[in-house]
Copies of this chain bind each other. A is one copy, B any other.
Amino acid sequence: MEKNLKNITIAYIGGGSRGWAWRFMADLALDGDICGTVRLYDIDQKAADANAVIGGRISANPGAKSRWVYESVPSLQSALSGADFVVISILPGTFEEMRSDVHEPEKYGVYQSVGDTVGPGGFVRALRTIPMITEIANAVKEYCPKAWIINYTNPMSLSVAAIYSAFPKARAFGCCHEVFHTQTLLMAMLKKEHGITVENRQDVHINVYGVNHFTWVDSASFKGLDLMPLYADFADKYWADGFLEDPDKTKDPVFVSANRVKFDLFRRFGVAGAAGDRHLAEFMPPWYLKNPETAAKWKFMLTPVSWRFADLERRLARSQRLASGAEEFPLVPSGEEGILLMKALLGVREFVSNVNIPNAGQIPNLPLGAVVETNALFRLDQIKPLIAGSLPGNIRPLIARHADNQENTLKAALSFDFRLALTTFLNDPLMCGVSETDGETLLKTMMANTAKYLPKEWGV
């Protein structure tokens, strides 16, 4: 009746990941409460093999507080059977497909800063992701129906929606760190403007609501301090020039933003956009993404897929070094909360965090069932969402539109309904300047570019 905390089994789908997986391994190693086995499964089995070696090294680090066993496994079945947790962190397709997602629409004047969530790129990425996630969800249903599924794959909302569509009794949720940045921004504000140092990000309490990468915060506090009036002043002060949290520039420039989009959204709508500017901008009409110059004016960058190719090279090389022992992966916390959530679900410690799950009423004025992001309480074998409250009147249509697109995309992807796909594709705010006929041509081209990863029923 009580799970043995020292014998946890985690199935890691996409276990060949060169980045996420390592940080996850480090987090596991740094936790002293639980240990067990991590099964790494990847369609690129060599990558999983390498990560099994790397995992072993990380676990053997003298600083590790717990020992985990890492195994590379050859099939979903072998990964999942008997698993307590399933981590889904896959790349749907390759960067070749992502190149089309991100850059093909530019031919029609549609620019995307990330291209993996919404916009034309997010849409087409979803078309190929949904069948993959569906396959995994069906396998969980068969091999470990009681396991908790933690999704990290983008598009997040649609991945979680696809899991529940295939397996309605799934115990699944999606984790994303974007919201944390709002907390760290508030911490930076407190430090810079008010000389207050916050030790622990989780002491900045926020109420968050929206859909993944397009979340909003209507209240924030630190101890007895209401942070919203402070944030209003802060946004006014830095709206024109921006505010950089990373003065030492340790972050790659393609990911840096000066929070001008966030400040502008707050001033226009009265609640705070709570995700990176690169993400927020993609959910709006092309106010901030009219073209690269506009983005630059708003002080954020479009991430070109060429950067991702180059980065992959760097990570491949690092993988070899880590596997061979030439480099040691640093045992520092990733800042992610996945392990804390797992421990809460194991009964170690209650925890409140933001999470992506179907709307059961946490946002009363969004459709039930839409995958939304709000706070929830994690407890032994339970996620109890908090009621975040109704979205303000001028925010609701912005989010409802994406929630509807989410539902239609899922349905189109599962039924191969091109008419529904096209009308949904055209309903994306970034597409509003594209004529209906150009939109049709673009969608057909983009689907052809990703045909290798689309179900054959599409006939592309």
Instruction: Show the binding face of A for B, using Cβ within 8 Å.
Output: 1-3, 5, 205, 207, 219, 221-226, 229-230, 264, 268-270, 285, 287, 290, 346-348, 350, 352, 360-362, 364-365, 367, 375, 377, 379-382, 384-389, 393-394, 396-398, 400-401, 404-405, 407-408, 411, 419-420, 422-424, 426-427, 429, 432-433, 435-436
Task: Specify the chain B residue showing the minimal Cβ separation from A435.
Answer: B287
The answer, among B226, B393, B400, B424, for a CB contact under 8 Å with A411, is B393
Assuming A393-B407, A400-B397, A408-B394, is B424 touching A205 (CB within 8 A)?
no
CA distance A396 to B427 in the complex (A): 11
CA distance A432 to B401 in the complex (A): 14
The minimal Cβ–Cβ distance linking A240 to chain B, given in whole angstroms, is 13
Instruction: Flag if A290 contacts B423 (CB, 8 Å).
Output: no
Q: Which of A380, A405, A427 has the most CB of B within 10 A?
A: A380
Identical subunits present:
4
CA distance A427 to B219 in the complex (A): 24
Assuming A268-B423, A436-B268, is B2 touching A224 (CB within 8 A)?
yes
Q: Which residues of B contact A407 (CB under 8 A)?
A: 393
The answer, among B1, B2, B360, B401, for a CB contact under 8 Å with A387, is B360
CA distance A290 to B437 in the complex (A): 13
Assuming A230-B1, A350-B205, is B427 touching A397 (CB within 8 A)?
yes
Q: Which residues of B contact A381 (CB under 8 A)?
A: 219, 221, 226
CA distance A411 to B348 in the complex (A): 37
Q: Which residues of B contact A384 (CB under 8 A)?
A: 207, 375, 386-389
CA distance A400 to B391 in the complex (A): 15
List of 8 A-B pairs having minimum Cβ-Cβ separation, nearest first: A361-B361, A224-B347, A432-B432, A397-B404, A221-B380, A394-B423, A384-B386, A2-B224
Instruction: Flag if B225 contacts A2 (CB, 8 Å).
Output: yes
Given contacts A1-B230, A223-B380, A224-B348, 11 further A-B contacts (CB under 8 A): A2-B224, A207-B382, A226-B380, A268-B419, A268-B422, A268-B436, A285-B432, A375-B384, A377-B386, A384-B388, A400-B400
Instruction: Flag if B394 contacts A424 (CB, 8 Å).
Output: yes
Q: Which residues of B contact A285 (CB under 8 A)?
A: 426, 432
